[in-house]
Amino acid sequence: MIKPPFTISNKMLSLSISITEKITSINQYQSLKRMPILRRNTRIKSVHASLAIEANLLSIDEVRDVISGKAVLGPKQEIQEVKNAYKAYEMIKTFEGYQEEDLLKAHKVLMDLIDDNAGNYRKKGVGVFKKDIPIFIAPPEGIVPQLMKNLFEWLRKDQDTPILIKSCIFHYELVFIHPFMDGNGRTARLWQNILLTKWNPIFEYIPIESQIQKYQDEYYSVIDMSNKEGKSDRFIEFMLKIIDETLSEINLNLKKDTRNISDQVSRLLDIMDPDIPLSANEIMARLGIKSKETLRASYLNPALENGLIKMTIPDKPKSKNQKYIK
């Protein structure tokens, strides 16, 4: 097993402890897990931010429209990037984070109809240039397969490095090896998301990519410094800080949301299953109430106003065929 160059610092350990504590706090808010709309919004934010880092200029509203199947005016490739990325993020739970074959499958999904070599390692040398001056030259194409094999072997066999830190190291090493002709950054960010979600499903709801976008210049700067120093320490500390800050924001928002959700709305959400439409009578039966006025005033209307449920026939709210979906 060939270990990537890194040294675990006190700062990394301190941030890891802080992250773990915040995750414990977030897990107390059961509302997080019962809101599929939040998972979808997280995916949309992640897709938009990760592609924006790669210079995709579609706004988050345009990204949302593309994902919803609406017509959007924009460059064909950027629209395709959104479709591909959303499909890949929707497949997160199907990918085995420790298998090289799945990384290639993910890249194929991300770069479908964009890169003719999607799903395959590059066969050419690549680098990053600024005004024709090389800033970074990736490892030669001939050794890419072995480097990736070594990286996955370490990922599987290293039992000493905490997964929070390992996911950051993998992210950096993938960007450094630059195994693909295109799409390396978005693949690295997706794969860190996969590794973290395998560790704790709560990361389905945490758009780390949005926080990276806020610090985009620093993101590239720490990658560059790590390249020059020959180890990923700075990048690990940066990414742990990003994760910690994202969790802080999630915690704060959850506290606000919880204050705004009544006991009645919480009960309503508890008796509804995601994506299963229920009529008003079915909901009343599950809740054990007999008044439709009470149902509308105390349960349905507040949940609708907060975007926690939606109507199956929104254009005809009083339709006798109306149902409600969580």
With beta carbons less than 8 A apart as the criterion, state whether 129 and 135 touch: yes
Per-residue pLDDT band for 247 (boundaries 50, 70, 90) equals very high
Residue 323 to residue 314: CA distance in whole angstroms:
10
Residue-range domains of the chain with CATH: 10-258 (1.10.3290.10), 262-325 (1.10.10)
pLDDT tens-digit map of 278-292: 999 999 999 999 999
With beta carbons less than 8 A apart as the criterion, state whether 172 and 236 touch: yes
Burial tier of 177 (Cβ tally within 10 Å: 0-12, 13-18, 19+): buried
- pLDDT given at position 272: 87
Whole-prediction pTM value?
0.80
pLDDT tens-digit map of 119-136: 999 999 998 887 888 889
Q: Six-digit token pair at 101?
A: 């074959």
CA dihedral 31, 34, 37, 40 (to 10 degrees): 110
Per-residue pLDDT band for 30 (boundaries 50, 70, 90) equals low
pLDDT tens-digit map of 284-320: 999 999 999 999 999 999 889 878 899 999 999 999 9
Outline where the chain has alpha helix (H): 10-26, 36-53, 60-67, 76-90, 100-110, 144-157, 163-177, 184-199, 208-214, 216-229, 233-260, 263-271, 280-287, 292-294, 301-305
For the chain, percent of residues with pLDDT exceeding 90: 78
Residue with tokens 């890949």, as numbered in its chain: 88
- pLDDT given at position 256: 61
